Structure 1
Amino acid sequence: MWGLLVGVVSYFPAAWYGHRFLEGQGMEPGFTRKLSVFLFASIVSTALGYGVSLVTSSPAHRRAEAGLQRQILQLLGSAARCTQNPGLPQCSQDRAEAEQLLGKILGGAPAKSH
């Protein structure tokens, strides 16, 4: 939560600083300067928000999050195989596992099947 707050709040000073910096460098006003400022401010605010989240989260939470990321990557790999050959017997088991993982990510909410 703190990471999100810091990321949102830090965007505006970063955008202001980026705008002033590029203006000082003699970059003409226009789309390119606006896009550059947007990208700079987005990168800075994302990095600050991630850093604050990393510092404020507990090691147990980080381990659990890393475990979820590994499971998601494994499921994405199996989903790619199932896209190429949907008749594989592993696909139905992977689909059920994906629905359980989605429910876990959404905080225990039952996943809706389409």
Structure 2
Amino acid sequence: MSKRDDLIQKYAGDLRTKCKMEPDMDLLTKVTIGCGPSIYDPDAETVASSQPDELETVKNNFLIRKLGLTEGPELMEAIDAVIETYGRSERNKYRPVVYYMLTKHFGKEAVYG
């Protein structure tokens, strides 16, 4: 398996064990590919959920630009809900997992169609 395939399996494991959901592997693969080379950088691969600037970046670059959502309080509420599902105390919140859950939350799977 390639390094990317190994990472996708790791993200699927997090979705199953930490988030208690069975991943749609096709969508998870597409979301992971959409993250580009950031998945290979240990710092960029994770979302620093305790840093407000990082959450703003997720909101602006992913929810608004990528998913095409409109600015509003529901965006940060969704990010907060995803972080809660992942586990606030969880040290490594992988970007593709967070993006996958946000994509599912807003029903925007078609973006990756």
TM-score, structure 2 length as denominator? Answer: 0.26
Question: Higher relative CO (CA 8 A, sep ≥ 6), structure 1 or 2?
Answer: 2
Q: Which has the larger radius of gyration?
A: 1
More helix by share: 1
